[in-house]
Amino acid sequence: MIAVATASSPVVVRVPAADERRRHERVRVALLGRYMLADRREFPCQTVDMSPGGVLLTCAVQGSVGERVVLYLEQIGRIEGTVARVVPTGFAMQLTATSRKRDKIASQLTWLANRESLGLPEGRSYERLVPRQAGVTLRFEGGRESFARIIDFSMAGAAIATGLRPAIGASVNVGQTPCRVVRYFEGGIGVRFLLPISPDRFHDGLVL
C-alpha cells in the first residue's frame, strides 16, 4: 500500500503484487498440437508455457496479431483464441474461454505439472474411436515390417493389437503415420503420434 498525501487527507493507493498483475500463472509444459489460422491452413506446433488465459507456441508459421486461431493440444483438446504477440520462434495466443473451461484448463495444467514428480500414469484426455479400416502395417527402424490391427485411436495415439514388444520409446510408423511406443498391454502396444492428427482425419475415421 502507498499513502499519497492531499490537502485534506491521505489517499491510500493499492499497488498490485506481482501475482495480482498477472491473472494466470504460466506453467512450462511441452505439448504437441496443431493450430488452424483464419484462412483455415493447419500447422503443427508445440507449447512453451501455458496458463488458463494464454499459451506461447513454437511453430514455423506465425499468425498476425489479432488473428483468430483454433488450437488442438494433446492432453488439453480444442481451444480458441487470438494472436496476442508474435515472437521469432512462434506466437503467443490469448485464449477465449468460459470460466468453466478456464477452470478445466487450470486443473489439466496442474495435473501435467505434477504428473512426473508424483509418478502418476498418463491419462487419456482424448475421445477414442474405432477406425474404419483396422488392418495396418507397422514399420520399424531398420526396415522390419509387421501386419497389425488398430483396436482404437484418438487424435494423440492408438492402441495396436500385435504380438511384438518393441522397446518403450521405440520409433514406429503405423501405416504412414510416425509414432513412438509408450506402453504395453495384454495383446498389444500403445503408440503416441509424433504430431496429433488433424480433427478432419479423426472425425473421418482415420485411414493410416
Q: Please indicate, yes or no, if residue 128 is contained in any of the structural domains.
A: no
Q: Could you tell me the three cell numbers for 51?
A: 496458463
Q: Do 159 and 103 fall within a single domain?
A: no
Give me the number of domains the chain comprises.
2
Q: Do 98 and 161 fall within a single domain?
A: no
Q: Please indicate, yes or no, if residue 4 is contained in any of the structural domains.
A: no
Q: How many CB atoms lie within 10 A of CB 47?
A: 24
State how far the Cα of 112 lies from the Cα of 168, in Å rounded to an integer: 20
Report the CATH number at residue 86. Answer: 2.40.10.220
pLDDT of residue 128: 66
Q: Please indicate, yes or no, if residue 114 is contained in any of the structural domains.
A: yes
Q: Are 189 and 166 in contact (CB under 8 A)?
A: yes
Q: Do 156 and 96 fall within a single domain?
A: no
Q: Do 179 and 88 fall within a single domain?
A: no
Q: Which residues contact 106 (CB under 8 A, 6 or more apart)?
A: 24, 52
Q: Do 21 and 65 fall within a single domain?
A: yes
State how far the Cα of 10 lies from the Cα of 8, in Å rounded to an integer: 7
Between vectors from CA 91 to CA 107 and to CA 158, what angle results, nearest 5°? 55
Q: Do 95 and 47 fall within a single domain?
A: yes
Q: Do 114 and 141 fall within a single domain?
A: no
Q: Please indicate, yes or no, if residue 2 is contained in any of the structural domains.
A: no
Per-residue pLDDT of the chain (208 residues; tens, 9 = 90+): 444 444 444 444 343 443 433 456 788 888 888 899 999 888 888 898 999 999 999 998 998 999 999 998 877 888 999 999 999 999 999 999 888 888 888 888 887 777 655 444 454 455 567 777 788 999 998 888 999 999 888 777 889 999 999 998 888 999 888 888 988 888 999 998 877 666 555 444 455 5
Q: Which range marks the domain in which residue 42 is found?
A: 12-118
Q: Are 108 and 182 in contact (CB under 8 A)?
A: no
